[in-house]
Structure 1
Amino acid sequence: MKLPLVIVNPASASGATRRRWPRLASELRAHFGPFACAFTEKAGDAMRIAEEEARAGRRFIIACGGDGTISEVANGLLRAGTETELGILPSGTGGDFQKTLRIPRRASDAARALCEGRTQLIDVGRANYVGFAGRKEERFFINVASFGMGGEVVARLKKGTTRLFGGRLAFAYSMLRTVFGFERPRVAVSLDGKEEIYLDVINFCIANARYFGGGMKIAPEAKLADGLFDIVVIGDMPSVEVVLKSYSIYLGTHLSLDQVSHAYARSCVARAVEGGREVSLEIDGETVGRLPASFEILPSALRVRCPSI
């Protein structure tokens, strides 16, 4: 049987993973055991490697990096269509998905969780949308997809803010830079095939897991194995109010706000109402394209190694 494979993104955490890898590898060998290793060089490599290795019979593949790396590896496994299990060795900027799974950040503890943890089947989202080239594209997501301000915040974040701050402060800084002057898009949305409703939104989130944006508890009630998305909509509120109430999103107490709505759904279809207005879409912390888009839940679609708690 093939050894577990660790797919390492050395560029994650603004390049810090490259420096950390010798220590991470040592902790993994000490607390997990022998493994094989592959390094990514560019975006898309983790997805390609994961798919190829899963098809070749690799039964356990571990993503070492941030949310983007984890999402790429998950996409590769899902495209392969095998029962290969996903593991996570955290080394990124945001670390949102690992929070829902309660994966420890410390390398030795994460390695023990990979060794002693249990296999859990989790739900996955499937998104169809318009990519940057103007063609229809498809992508799976394990954490959160969102459109509105979220896509623009992520785009700004990728321009280098993380090098200045890192982690939660980077997301907060990018949000502050974006919110003032952000033009609220008007969108038409249908949940579970019901009649369209029209909304002016700051952000519209289709959540499979609980956290996004560097620790924001956007969907505090989300469960990874309930067969449902948590739909969380931050409506049209003044920019100053968005900033003042952003702390409630980090705490997960925002669902009680008048301008925030919450629903459950198995599918969602969304389009921009204003002619020619592009509404950015981000998936698992990466800007991937724009509306129109559709989202569908795939129950129990992915095997993930979780801590035994």
Structure 2
Amino acid sequence: MEVHFIINPYAGNGQGIKRWRQFEQQLAIPYQSHLTKYEGHTLLLANELAGRATKENPVCLIAIGGDGTIHEVLNGAIHFKNVYLGAVSAGSGNDFARGYQAFKTSKQVEQFINTVKSSSHDCGVVKQGGTTKYFINNFGVGFDALVARIANRSSLKRSLNKWKLGKLSYPYYVIHALFTYKPFKLTISCEGKIKQYQNVWFVTASNQPYFGGGMKLSPNSITSDGQFELTVVSNLSKWKLLFLFGTVFLGKHTLLKEVEQFAATYAQLMFEEPVMAHADGETQKLVTGQNKIQITVQKKAWNLAK
């Protein structure tokens, strides 16, 4: 088996390279390491390395970075067989490690190589504007995407990352964005039914419970059940939204009448205005004319190295 470490040296304000140095000193197995050098490089590396995999010579790709790093590895490797994906958490939010399982020590990596113990998991598939993307944790549209974009670009997050407290920037920027954000109208076509929502703050498709650095947004999500959970938050005041984010760490927000949550295997989201979207925390702005998003699930699409 080929073992490749894909390291994002900039993750967690330098935590990526620090974590790699720790692993590098202790590894006692053959491996190759690859430092990412620019945005999108992780995806290209994963695609190239996964393409080497055969039944006789499988490939294990271990991402060292945050949720965005493992997101790119998944998107690069998703179409190849005989590939195992793993992660070493070195970002600010690290929700992947909460919903799945990440390597904490080099000994755990060596144990995997000896046993090849793994589990198969679903991924979400998003089609929009002629493009297809895959998500491993969650895909969101609206307020949560805007907060993720602001937080990812903030100097505060970089400063907190130095103390391994980067996840605290998310609640701060929830308040920061609260007073400028404009809720939107949303139509969801799902399982043969059409639902319309007014004053929507955000809609999120989840493949696992956590997002935003430990918020338990979708408590019932299971990573291998062949479906995702949609969470729609609408028609509530700004102050009640703050209360929602205060309860979401415990998963109690689902008791609010303004929060609707249901499972699906297919959903089409339709908007009237440009909105912000994110996949595993990686953000993009959906422009006018690209107002339809299709979300499906690809069952047991990838193998987690354990």
Q: Which residue of structure 1 lines up, in the alignment, with residue 65 of structure 2?
A: 65
Aligned to 2:203: 204
- RMSD of Structure 2 on Structure 1 (CA): 1.9
Q: Which amino acid is 1:255 matched to?
A: T
Q: CA offsets, 1:167-208, max 9 Å, x none?
A: 221111121111123111111111134224234311101011
The runs of 5 or more residues in structure 1 that have no matched partner are 131-135
What is the SS of the residue equivalent to 1:195? strand
1:27-42 correspondence runs (5 A): 27=26, 29=27, 33-42=29-38
Q: Equivalences for 1:235-246 in 2 at 5 Å?
A: 235-246=234-245
2:152 to 145, 158, 182: 158
Instruction: Indicate whether 1:264 and 2:263 are aligned.
Output: yes
8 Å contact from structure 2 (residues 86, 102) kept in 1: no
Q: Equivalent of 1:55, from 34, 38, 51?
A: 51
Q: Distance in 2 between matches of 1:125 and 1:163?
A: 29
2:289 maps to 1:293: no
Q: Which amino acid aligns with 1:283?
A: A
Matched residue type, 2:145:
G
Instruction: Give the TM-score, by structure 1 length.
Output: 0.88
Change (3 A) 1:157 1:117: farther
Match in the other structure for 1:283: 279
Corresponding residue number in structure 1 for 2:231: 232
Q: Distance in 1 between matches of 2:19 and 2:117?
A: 26
Q: Note the C-alpha offset of 1:289.
A: 3.5
Q: What does the per-residue CA deviation read over 1:194-238, in whole Å, with 9 as the maximum and x for residues that have no partner?
A: 224234311101011111111111111100111111111122211
8 Å Cα contact 1:87-1:114 kept in structure 2: no
Q: Distance in 2 between matches of 1:258 and 1:127?
A: 28
- Deviation of 1:108 (Å): 5.1
Cα pair 2:125 2:297 within 8 Å, conserved: yes
* Structure 2 segments unaligned to the other structure (5+ residues): none
Contact preservation (8 Å) 2:60, 2:305:
no
> In the alignment, what sits opposite 1:248?
247
Kept in 1, the 8 Å contact 2:226–2:298? The answer is yes
Task: Report the AA paired with residue 287 of structure 1.
Answer: T
* Separation (CA, whole Å) in 1 of partners of 2:172 and 2:202: 17
Larger displacement relative to structure 2 (109-118 or 202-211): 109-118
Between stretches 68-77 and 93-102, larger displacement belongs to 93-102
In 1, the alpha carbon distance for the partners of 2:24 and 2:78 equals: 26
The answer for the alignment partner of 1:133 in structure 2 is none
DSSP 3-state at the match of 1:245: helix
> Contact conserved, 1:13 with 1:91, CA < 8 A, in 2?
yes
Q: Spell out the pairing of 1:175-214 with structure 2 (5 A cutoff).
A: 175-214=174-213
Letter in structure 2 aligned against 1:5: H
Cα distance between partner residues in 2 of 1:184 and 1:298: 30
Q: Hey, what does 1:304 align to over in structure 2?
A: 304
Give the residue type in structure 2 aligned to 1:256.
Answer: L
| Residues 1:170 and 1:39: Cα distance change in structure 2 (over 3 Å) | same
- For structure 1, which segment, 243-252 or 255-264, has the greater mean C-alpha deviation from structure 2 after superposition? 243-252
* Deviation for aligned residue 1:264: 0.6
Cα deviation per residue 1:6-35 (whole Å; 9 max; x = unaligned)?
1001011022222342113224x15xx331
> How far did 1:258 drift?
1.3
Partner-residue secondary structure (3-state), 1:222:
coil
Task: Provide the C-alpha distance between the structure 2 equivalents of 1:82 and 1:146, rounded to a whole number of angstroms.
Answer: 28
After alignment, is 163-172 or 247-256 more displaced?
163-172
SS at match of 2:194: coil
Structure 1 residues 84-233: aligned runs within 5 Å: 84-103=83-102, 106-107=104-105, 111=109, 114-115=112-113, 118-130=117-129, 136-160=130-154, 161-166=156-161, 167-233=166-232
Contact 1:164 1:170 in 2 (8 A): no
Count of residues paired in the alignment: 292
CA contact (8 A) 1:188 1:270 kept: yes
What secondary structure, in the 3-state scheme, does the structure 1 residue paired with 2:202 have?
strand
